[in-house]
C-alpha cells in the first residue's frame, strides 16, 4: 500500500518536474546574480589601476621636468631650488602630496665613471651630503668626464580604498613608486649652487 501511494505521488509529480526543468524564465536572473560580484570587482579594480597609472605618469613628469629645469641654468640658489621643488609637487594634485619625496642631486663623474654628489636639495626628505656616492648608478651612455649629471628621484606611495582592502591579502599597502630621471647641463658643463 505504501508502495502504491509513492508511485501515485511520483506519477503526479512527473509533469510538474518536467515543466520545471523546461522553464528558463529565471535563468538570466540567476546568471546575473552570480556574475554581479565579479563585475563589481572588475569595475573597482579598473578604476583603481587607472588612478595608479595616472600617478605614475605624474611622478615621471615631476622627475623629468624638475631635472630639465635645473639643467637649463648654470647657477642656482637654495631658495630658487626649494621653490622649484615645491612648485613641482603641485603636478601631483589632486592627489595628496604629503608623502611625496623629491631628491635632486647634481653629480660629478670621474674618469672611472664613479659618480659623487656635488650638491643636493630635497622636498619632504633629506638631501644627500656632498661627496657621497650617487644613490643611483649613472648609465655609461650619458657619462662624460668633467660634465655633471643631474639626477632627480621621486618617491611616492598611493593608497586607494581597493589597495587598502587587498593589503590584508597581499601585505603591500598601496602602490609604491620610485622613479628617477637623468639630465646633463645645457648651458655649461657644471651647475653651481649657492
Mean pLDDT by runs of 10 across the 194 residues of the chain is 69 76 74 90 91 96 97 96 96 94 95 91 96 91 91 95 82 90 94 94
| Residues 6+ away with beta carbon under 8 Å from 161 | 48
Q: Are strands 115-123 and 75-76 parallel, antiparallel or unpaired?
A: unpaired
Closest residue by Cα to residue 109 from 44, 189, 32: 189
Residue 155's Cβ-count burial label (10 Å; 0-12, 13-18, 19+) is middle
Host H or E run for residue 185 = none
3 state DSSP class of 29? helix
Residue 11: the pLDDT is 78
131 cis-preceded (ω within 30 degrees of 0): no
Kindly report the three-state secondary structure assignment for every residue of 141-181.
HHCCCCCCEEEEEEEEEECCHHHHHHHHHHCCCCEEEEEEE
Residue 125's φ and ψ, nearest 5 degrees, are -155, 180
Amino acid at each position: 500500500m505504501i508502495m502504491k501511494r509513492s508511485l501515485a505521488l511520483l506519477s503526479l509529480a512527473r509533469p510538474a518536474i518536467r515543466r520545471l526543468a523546461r522553464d528558463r524564465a529565471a535563468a538570466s536572473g540567476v546568471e546575473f546574480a552570480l556574475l554581479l560580484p565579479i563585475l563589481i570587482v572588475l569595475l573597482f579594480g579598473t578604476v583603481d589601476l587607472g588612478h595608479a597609472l595616472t600617478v605614475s605618469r605624474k611622478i615621471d613628469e615631476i622627475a623629468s621636468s624638475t631635472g630639465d629645469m635645473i639643467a637649463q641654468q648654470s647657477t642656482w640658489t637654495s631658495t630658487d631650488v626649494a621653490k622649484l621643488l615645491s612648485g613641482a609637487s603641485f603636478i601631483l594634485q589632486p592627489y595628496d602630496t604629503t608623502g611625496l619625496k623629491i631628491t635632486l642631486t647634481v653629480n660629478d663623474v670621474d674618469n672611472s665613471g664613479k659618480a659623487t654628489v656635488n650638491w643636493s636639495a630635497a622636498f619632504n626628505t633629506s638631501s644627500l651630503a656632498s661627496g657621497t656616492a650617487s644613490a643611483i648608478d649613472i648609465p655609461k651612455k650619458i657619462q662624460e668626464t668633467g660634465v655633471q649629471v643631474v639626477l632627480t628621484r621621486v618617491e611616492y606611495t598611493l593608497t586607494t580604498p581597493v589597495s587598502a582592502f587587498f593589503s590584508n591579502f597581499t601585505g603591500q599597502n598601496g602602490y609604491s613608486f620610485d622613479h628617477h630621471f637623468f639630465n646633463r647641463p645645457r648651458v655649461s658643463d657644471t651647475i653651481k649652487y649657492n
